[in-house]
Amino acid sequence: MENAIKKYWPVFLLPTLAAFIIGFIWPFLWGIYLSFHKFITVSKTTFVGLDNYIKVFQDATFVEAFWFTARFTIVSTILINIFAFALALTLTRGLRGTNAFRTVFFLPNLIGGIVLGYIWQILLNGLLTNLGLPLLALDARYGFWGLIILMCWQQIGYMMIIYIAGLQNVPGDLIEAASIDGATSFQTLIKVKLPMVMPSVTICTFLTLTNSFKLFDQNLALTGGEPAKASQMLALNIYDTFYARAGAQWKGIGQAKAVVFFLLVISISLVQLYFTRRKEVQQ
Amino acid sequence: MKKIIALALALVLCMALAVTASADASVYYLNFKPEQDAQWQELAKIYTEQTGVPVTVVTAASGDYETTLMSEIEKSECPTLFQVNGPVGLANWTDYCYDLADTELVKHLTNDAFALKEGDAVKGVAYVIETYGIIANTKLLEKAGYTVADITNFETLKKVAEDIQARKAELGLDGAFTSAGMDGSSDWRFKTHLANMPIYYEYQADGIGNTAAIKGTYLDNYKAIWDLYINNGTCEPALLASKTGNDAVAEFVGEKAVFYQNGTWAWNDVKELGAENLTMLPIYIGVEGEENQGLCTGTENYWCVNAIAEQEDIDATIAFLEWVITSEEGRKCMSQDMGFVVPFDTFTGEYASTNPLVAVDTALTAAGKAPVSWNFPTMPSEEWKNGVGSALTAYAAGTGDWAAVVSAFVDGWATEYALTH
């Protein structure tokens, strides 16, 4: 049997590999290729060299969208992880109804981003109207905090589940040993539980960081980038570049933006992985 | 490993075979208007039964036409018939547009202006003419003590609207105008259709049909009509940012407002009020001599035949289109079932449109009013429209000023024009 697997492993690998190449590697290479061209359809392209990349950095809206996205990512990553961890701690204490609460907190994650965006748009606009404040589409500050509220609501439950799994894996004898040594519950949390759940922290920060940075649906549905692109994030900016302007050159610039965007996401998440991994401890 | 390579090669061979097995001449129409999808499917079926030529009709989801076209046209079975919205849309697709100058389609056009030309080549042919203005509920207007004849220019429109607005409680209304919603489902009525008015008058004054830099000569008039809409509407101007197209329809059909800016395509939405209670007024913006102005009539739907398709498919497509505009079935379907005003000379008598809002336009034109042409297909890009829309929304809510609208309109035009040319 083992021999057979050794011999035929490529056959077992092939379907997944083929899917990966067709669905990911090939379009990815095409994307990079297209970012150096101007085109309407991908079979008729004209090579333009680095022109597209030069124009990306001349585009003020792209830089603005980057800073908006960066601010959003920092705030949402911190808030989501703190709340998710706090909830996970509360829901691993063996309180009554724990399972019901876990389900309730997880539920928002099952609804798609576009739907959530429109629902929250109605809710938040209703609230802002009652308070006599400008609507979401009129003031980027409200758009920003609206997006934060929406993302927290959607993501906290998911991250909570990961933290719960991490917390449940903290060996009971370690906690017992800590309490015998006279550690307070706060000390146990900081010195014992937290180092032990660092792998979960790594995953959760990675997920929230990349999700926030790549956010598209919620941005499109909740604010649509209004007012005048002041709440536009990078993914929506790329989409607009590609579709909202007529003329062949814009497709290439949109594509170049996408490549820059990819490099940004990759580098930010690698830095994050490096720093959180360092804090992980061996059991 | 050799086996793997052999297997992979066999797979490639199979795929290659599948691709080369091509069919005889066929037609593939990528339809733009979801409202008419069922009728096109039906028409395609009839044509296939009569001639044996397979006709496929695929309708792109609303708002996704360009995206769908971009991916469909790459396929080996690409659309042989697609559409563009005018000169700006043509800029993207000109390489894919077959010259239709020698076809019957062009010869049957009632007006040369309905052919989308590039030099002498006819790249597209309009197939539906539409009209917009201010749809008015005459029953409510009369209840307020006015008739349509009282409204002949901006001044009288303003007087009537403001009077109705002042007495809205007494009349049982929420406002004179339906909400000028700036949500994505409705903002095109103002950032595109209403913005056509100042552009039209500027083009008229300068004797041009397109420009690289708009001057904004008539932007004060644009402000006047926008102020009228937002200050005499069914809701606070600050709330317009979230109002949708459906909100406006509901207010109008619910008889909570007298005026509703939209076009002939909206007939199905408002017909329950009854044709006898509805009419359409020109959009007056206070330009000298506007008493003679008619409704805004034009098109942004041009048929284009795909030049990169096989020649036999191109011929089949042109034959199909000629059949659509000359045969009994085709003409009945387009004029009556789809409810279109079709700009070909074969659509007369029983094949004229039955849409009452179209009848209003015909009557006005017959009375000597000058129709306003559609100049918004010359707007430089979607991006420009969005900029104007954002500024209008902010102005309505009081978070922005009119100077921002002017800047988006004038400076935005020059910027976007430069960026897309």
Q: How confident is the model at residue B139 (pLDDT cuts 50, 70, 90)?
A: very high
Question: Cβ of A245 and B381 within 8 Å?
Answer: yes
Task: Confirm or reject contact between B410 and chain A (CB < 8 A).
Answer: no
Task: Confirm or reject contact between B95 and chain A (CB < 8 A).
Answer: yes
Question: Cβ of B239 and A129 within 8 Å?
Answer: yes
Q: Which of residues 187-246 of A touch B (CB under 8 A)?
A: 224, 226-229, 240, 243-246
B4, B66, B73, B242: which to substitute to probe chain A, counting the most A Cβ within 10 Å?
B242
Strands B121-126 and B302-305: antiparallel
* pLDDT for residue B305 is more than 90: yes
pTM for the whole structure: 0.80
pLDDT of residue B22: 44
Q: Which of residues 249-308 of B touch A (CB under 8 A)?
A: none
Nearest by CB to residue B67, choosing from A122, A129, A243, is A243
Which of A75-84, A131-140, A173-182 reaches the highest mean pLDDT? A75-84
Contacts of B247 in chain A (CB under 8 A): none
Per-residue pLDDT tens digits for B312-361: 999 999 999 999 999 999 998 888 888 788 888 888 888 888 888 888 88
Nearest by CB to residue B241, choosing from A41, A43, A137, is A137
Contacts of A44 in chain B (CB under 8 A): 95
CA distance A258 to A238: 7
Question: Cβ of B386 and A244 within 8 Å?
Answer: yes
Q: Which of residues 125-144 of A touch B (CB under 8 A)?
A: 125, 129, 134-139
Task: Confirm or reject contact between B10 and chain A (CB < 8 A).
Answer: no
* pLDDT for residue B17 is more than 50: no
Question: Cβ of B393 and A247 within 8 Å?
Answer: no
* pLDDT for residue B226 is more than 90: yes
**Of A6 and B190, more confident:** B190
In the CATH scheme, what is the code of domain B22-129+299-347? Answer: 3.40.190.10
Reported ipTM: 0.75
Question: Cβ of B390 and A42 within 8 Å?
Answer: no
Task: Confirm or reject contact between B420 and chain A (CB < 8 A).
Answer: yes
Domain ranges of chain A: 52-278
Domain ranges of chain B: 22-129+299-347, 131-297+363-420
Contacts of A121 in chain B (CB under 8 A): 242
Q: How confident is the model at residue A75 (pLDDT cuts 50, 70, 90)?
A: very high
Question: Cβ of A135 and B387 within 8 Å?
Answer: no
Q: How confident is the model at residue B73 (pLDDT cuts 50, 70, 90)?
A: confident
Question: Cβ of A244 and B383 within 8 Å?
Answer: yes
Task: Confirm or reject contact between B91 and chain A (CB < 8 A).
Answer: yes
Per-residue pLDDT tens digits for A232-254: 999 999 998 887 776 677 888 89
Question: Cβ of B74 and A245 within 8 Å?
Answer: no
Mean of pLDDT values over B250-276: 90
pLDDT of residue B4: 59
Q: B18: helix, coil or strand?
A: helix
What are the beta bridge partners of residue B257? B175
Task: Confirm or reject contact between A60 and chain B (CB < 8 A).
Answer: no
pLDDT of residue B95: 86
* One-character DSSP codes across chain A: -HHHHHHHHHHHHHHHHHHHIIIIIHHHHHHHHHTTEEESSTTSEEE-TTHHHHHHHH-HHHHHHHHHHHHHHHHHHHHHHHHHHHHHHHTTS--TTHHHHHHHHHGGGGS-HHHHHHHHHHHHHHHHHHHTPPPGGG-HHHHHHHHHHHHHHHHHHHHHHHHHHHHHTS-HHHHHHHHHTT--HHHIIIIIIHHHTHHHHHHHHHHHHHHHHT--HHHHHHTTT-STTTT--HHHHHHHHHHSS-STHHHHHHHHHHHHHHHHHHHHHHHHHHHHHHT----
What percentage of chain A carries pLDDT values higher than 70?
98
Question: Cβ of A138 and B397 within 8 Å?
Answer: yes
pLDDT of residue B94: 87
Looking up tokens 């259709």 gives B193
B11, B78, B383, B413: which to substitute to probe chain A, counting the most A Cβ within 10 Å?
B383
What percentage of chain B carries pLDDT values higher than 70?
94
Q: How many residues does chain B have?
A: 421
pLDDT of residue B18: 46
Closest chain B C-alpha to A263 CA, distance in angstroms: 25
Nearest by CB to residue B70, choosing from A41, A139, A224, is A41
* pLDDT for residue A258 is more than 90: yes
pLDDT of residue A224: 83
pLDDT of residue B1: 53
Task: Confirm or reject contact between A120 and chain B (CB < 8 A).
Answer: no
Q: How confident is the model at residue B10 (pLDDT cuts 50, 70, 90)?
A: low
* pLDDT for residue A5 is more than 80: no
Query: B282 preceded by cis ω (within 30°)?
Result: no
Closest chain A C-alpha to B420 CA, distance in angstroms: 6
In the CATH scheme, what is the code of domain A52-278? Answer: 1.10.3720.10
Per-residue pLDDT tens digits for A128-173: 888 888 788 788 888 899 999 999 999 999 999 999 999 998 888 8
Yes or no: say if B106 and B125 are a contact pair by the CB < 8 Å rule.
Answer: yes
Q: How confident is the model at residue B381 (pLDDT cuts 50, 70, 90)?
A: confident
CA distance B141 to B134: 13
Contacts of B86 in chain A (CB under 8 A): none
Which of A60-64, A112-116, A177-181, B133-137 reaches the highest mean pLDDT? B133-137
Yes or no: say if B281 and B151 are a contact pair by the CB < 8 Å rule.
Answer: yes
What is B131-297+363-420's CATH topology?
D-Maltodextrin-Binding Protein; domain 2 (3.40.190)
Per-residue pLDDT tens digits for A25-52: 999 999 999 999 888 877 778 888 888 8
How many other C-beta atoms can be found within 10 angstroms of the C-beta atom of residue A243?
A: 18
Yes or no: say if B333 and B104 are a contact pair by the CB < 8 Å rule.
Answer: no
Question: Cβ of B242 and A121 within 8 Å?
Answer: yes
Question: Cβ of B92 and A42 within 8 Å?
Answer: no
Contacts of A228 in chain B (CB under 8 A): 387, 390-391, 394, 408
Q: How confident is the model at residue B368 (pLDDT cuts 50, 70, 90)?
A: confident
Nearest by CB to residue A246, choosing from B91, B387, B391, is B91
CA distance B195 to A79: 43
Measured CA angle at B134 (ends B130, B135), to 5 deg: 85
Task: Confirm or reject contact between B383 and chain A (CB < 8 A).
Answer: yes
Task: Confirm or reject contact between B419 and chain A (CB < 8 A).
Answer: yes
Mean pLDDT computed over every residue of chain B: 87
pLDDT of residue B193: 93
Candidate from A172-186, B10-24, B185-199, B371-385 with smallest mean pLDDT:
B10-24
Closest chain A C-alpha to B346 CA, distance in angstroms: 34
Looking up tokens 């600050």 gives B238
CA distance B30 to B73: 10
* One-character DSSP codes across A121-148: HHHHHHHHHHHTPPPGGG-HHHHHHHHH
Residues 6+ away with beta carbon under 8 Å from B142: none
* One-character DSSP codes across B167-179: THHHHT-SEEE--
B386, B392, B421: which to substitute to probe chain A, counting the most A Cβ within 10 Å?
B386
Measured between its terminal Cα atoms, the distance across chain A in Å is 34
Question: Cβ of B91 and A226 within 8 Å?
Answer: no
Task: Confirm or reject contact between B238 and chain A (CB < 8 A).
Answer: yes
pLDDT of residue A226: 79
* pLDDT for residue B15 is more than 80: no
Per-residue pLDDT tens digits for B29-59: 999 888 788 899 999 999 999 999 999 999 9
Which amino acid type is present at position B231?
N
